[in-house]
Every structure is written in structure tokens, then in C-alpha cells.
Structure 1
């Protein structure tokens, strides 16, 4: 039994890679002319319900990079148990979209496999999401703790927002009673 759970834990950690601060330093937008403007964020309205069949569940769709904790995470389509055992999942619902739609993108991962160290991310930190040949740079604006059944953080948004969710408390053994939520706003989009 311990061998099975050990393998499951190991498998979940395989979606994480070390990413040096040097690698991500050149990605950051430092020039005012590169900052995403409100006009560049507005595009046609597309709801995730139109995109649900865009990928197969568990299919690799991108990469999340958090320079503060020097980690990169392979990102997969969906948040079912099988997908989350691979790594970070992109939440699929009528209220969320892929990052290219510049609305609300939600990524979830287990606290004890992929999202270890997430508590070290602070307000103002950069978070990058690579998707479909583009690199989306976000700035963290808020962290909060909510009840595990609270879905008010997964809603439609007019602004380009990236939300990261994981179980909380971080050192809890078993099924955690709360969720740790990080919200960030789009700052810049660049070609990869």
C-alpha cells in the first residue's frame, strides 16, 4: 500500500521542473511600452463552454512558470483526479477560458506534489503562463484562503485574470479543509 501511494506521489511530482531566475529574468516586461493596455486585452467574447472540447482530458496544453520559487509546471487540460496526478490542471468550465481569450484562466494542483512552495509567492510577483506559442505575464494581486467547497473564486471575469488554487493548509495530512488561492492580472503577452 505504501509503495502504491509513494508511486502516486512521485508521479505527481514529475510535472515540475526547476527554472532558474536567470532564465526568467529576460521574460519580464520592464518597459512601459510593453505593458498590456486595456484596448489590447479586449477581444471577442468567448466562453469556456465553447472551448471545452478543444483538448482531450489530461492533454498537455502549456507550462506555468513561477520565478519566485524557481519552478516550472507542465499544464494539462482539466482538473480530474487523473489529470492532477500528472501535474497542474487547467480548470474547464463555463466560467473560465484559456489565456488567449484574456478572461479568467484557473489552474489547480496538489500542494504536496506540484505546488510545494506556493506559499512563498507574494503580491507583485511575476507569474508566466505559456500557451499556444505565447507567453502571458501576470502580476500577483491577491492571495486568500477559502473553504474547500467555496467556488466563488471560479467565476467569469471581464479582465484577463490567472487564478492558481491548491489545498490548504500546506502541511495538512489528508484531505485539506480549505483552498489557497492566488489571483493575478495580465501585464504583458509576448511571442515565444
Structure 2
């Protein structure tokens, strides 16, 4: 009798717990469940159905919300380690690249020969409303060294010195760090090794606490509280003609607020650059 092929593994039930994902340098730790529906992503990170599982060849896809569990991805660097722990074992991946794509670009989940991990979240991180793009982190699995390697080293003559280990590459500046350096000054940008790009079309403003002002046609801002020590602000923005309110709650200096104005149809960015006891300064562009 001819041998029968093994039965395929049963499908994973939606919202089933798969394991835990950690990025130690970012102090990011979150459980991973199966599926990417709103209920699942409201509880945990979601394993994207149809992509590989840790330990399988292919591309492991994991999605999460940019304003909750994946908020820390804005600070991720190349060469950061990502750990995915499941009941079957632990797998480590090293970040190789990041990029921004459209929601329709599913090529980032394509499987390749070597095991890899793809993290997906919405972008921009500080966008108000449904973000138009996706932020992608690509990482490749770090395979365990061969078991024969230690024995080979032990048999080498004692007088043979090992070659010095190569210095690890310097971490790249994160998106947020780059933005902050450019926003400060050309001197600060040069000190951090980042090209300074002067802003164009900026409108500088200063607003006293418990006051408001119009920053541009159809765009106003008010400040209700300031904390100079932690450089945080409470307030609001009013966008016309849709009468939309954007609340600023415990908002940090240099964290951009990105939104579209219906009057001009353009993307705007508001950044608070300094927080005093009774006022704030910043710019709108």
C-alpha cells in the first residue's frame, strides 16, 4: 500500500493566542493573536493570516496599531533584535530595513527563501484619523550557530590568535530623532550627523496659556495647560469648514500633528517647539 501524505495542520482559530513579540531596546512587549480584525488588534498584535508562523520558512507577518502596541516602532533602528516566543520555541530576528508603502502594496508580505519577519502598522504615527500609508519593518531570522563550530575552535593551535571582531555598525537615526534634529537648528543637525533641511512655507506662532489664535485660514489652536518641566501641552485645534476638533492631551514638544485641511486640500504639520510656564511656541506648515 502506498504511503499516505500527512494531513495538513488544522487552521488556526481566529483570535487564538500564538505567543509574545518583544523588541528589547524599545522595551516593547506584546502578545500576538491570530487575525487582524478590530477585536483582535484591540487586545494584542495580530498575526496576518496566510503568512508563515515562527519556525516555518517564509515571511511571518504581524500587524498592530500605531497609537497603542506598535507606537514604539517610530524609534526602531536597523540591527535591532526582535524576539518572537511561542509554545514551540523562541525565534530571533534582526531588523534590516524600514519603509513606507501604500495600503495596497502587499508585496511586503511575499515569502522568500530565508525565514523573515515583517511588522506592519499605519503611518504617519501622529496622523489624526485614518492614516493613508503603512510603515513596514523588515527583519531576517538570526539562525543559531552550527554545533560543530565550538569544536573546531577548540582544536585550533593555542598560538593562533583569533581575528578581532568587527565593530557593529552604528545605529541609524530613527524617524523621530531625525525630525527633532532638523527642527532644532543646523548646528544640532550637523552634531547628530543628519542633513539639515530648512523648512519652507512655515508659519511660526506663540500662544499664551488659556488663549487661542488663528494660525492659518480655517485652522485655529488653543492652549489650556502647559508643563514646562516635561515640555507637554494640553489644548485643541479647530479645523474648518468641517468643524473638526483635534484634541492635544499631554502632547509632547516636537511630536508633529499631521492633518489635511479641506480648504486647501493640503497636508499640514503642526509642531510645538518650546513650552514655557504660560505659553508655547511652534510652527505650522
Structure 2 length normalisation: TM-score? 0.46
What is the aligned length?
138
Q: Deviations over 1:121-172 (max 9, x none)?
A: 1001111001233110110001000012211111122110000000000000
User: What is the aligned-residue RMSD (CA, Å)?
Assistant: 1.6
Whole-Å separation in 1 of the counterparts to 2:41 and 2:72: 17
Whole-Å separation in 1 of the counterparts to 2:88 and 2:56: 14
- Which of 48, 53, 61 in structure 2 is aligned with 1:98? 53
- Which of 26, 46, 54 in structure 2 is aligned with 1:89? 46
State the secondary structure of the residue aligned to 1:76.
strand
- Structure 2 unpaired stretches of 5+: 1-7, 146-285
* Structure 1 match to 2:30: 73
Whole-Å separation in 1 of the counterparts to 2:71 and 2:25: 12
Query: How much has 1:107 moved relative to structure 2?
Result: 0.3
Whole-Å separation in 2 of the counterparts to 1:71 and 1:136: 16
* Structure 1 match to 2:175: none
Whole-Å separation in 1 of the counterparts to 2:57 and 2:84: 12
* Structure 2 match to 1:118: 73
Query: How much has 1:86 moved relative to structure 2?
Result: 1.1
The yes-or-no answer on 1:154 pairing with 2:109 is yes
The yes-or-no answer on 1:176 pairing with 2:131 is yes
Specify which structure has the bigger relative contact order, considering alpha-carbon pairs within 8 angstroms and separated by 6 or more residues: 1
Query: How much has 1:102 moved relative to structure 2?
Result: 2.8
Query: How much has 1:54 moved relative to structure 2?
Result: 3.2
Matches within 5 A, 1:1-192: 53-93=10-50, 96-188=51-143
Q: Deviations over 1:49-68 (max 9, x none)?
A: x55x4321011111000012
Structure 1 length normalisation: TM-score? 0.68
Whole-Å separation in 1 of the counterparts to 2:12 and 2:23: 24
Over 3 Å off, 4+ runs? none
- Structure 1 unpaired stretches of 5+: 1-49
Quick check: which has more Rg, 1 or 2? 2
Q: 1:189 to 1:102 in 2, by over 3 A?
A: farther
Q: Deviations over 1:61-86 (max 9, x none)?
A: 11000012112110001112211111
Whole-Å separation in 2 of the counterparts to 1:117 and 1:106: 18
